[in-house]
Amino acid sequence: MNESLQKAITELLTRSVEGVDAATAFISQELPDYVYQLLLWYSFHSVFWGTVFTLGLGSLFFVAYRRFWMWSKREMEKDIHKDNDGWYFGRAMLGIFAVLPFIGGFSYYMEAVKIWIAPKLWLVEYASNFVK
């Protein structure tokens, strides 16, 4: 009985060691593909949201600027705003705010550029987020 128990334990240990070896081999084979897919996903993610952010807010500010432009043009035709009581300031502010979506979208694009130029640095930063 003792001999059969030792044989069973030896067989279990051998199987577990073989399983660990197989898992290690599998992980070492699949890790480069996983890293490539991770980099590709986050690159696409940042470009996609940068484009959505830029086009979405850019079009919103464009519509607001256009509406203000048309309103101010009608008011100028009525000779109400000839003394510059905020008309130029409103156009300048809307013009400045129209640039903000491009600045916000730029931050998303910088993530994709960082992945493209320095993928190892990005991976270290990504892994450090899990340590925190």
pLDDT digits (tens, 9 = 90+) for 91-120: 777 777 777 777 877 888 888 888 889 888
72's tokens = 């101010």
Element (H or E) spanning 12, and its range?
helix 2-77
> How far apart are alpha carbons 110 and 15 in whole angstroms?
48
pLDDT digits (tens, 9 = 90+) for 2-19: 788 788 788 877 887 777
The position carrying tokens 């300048």 is 92
Q: What is the pTM of this model?
A: 0.60
Q: Where are the chain's structural domains? A: 31-131
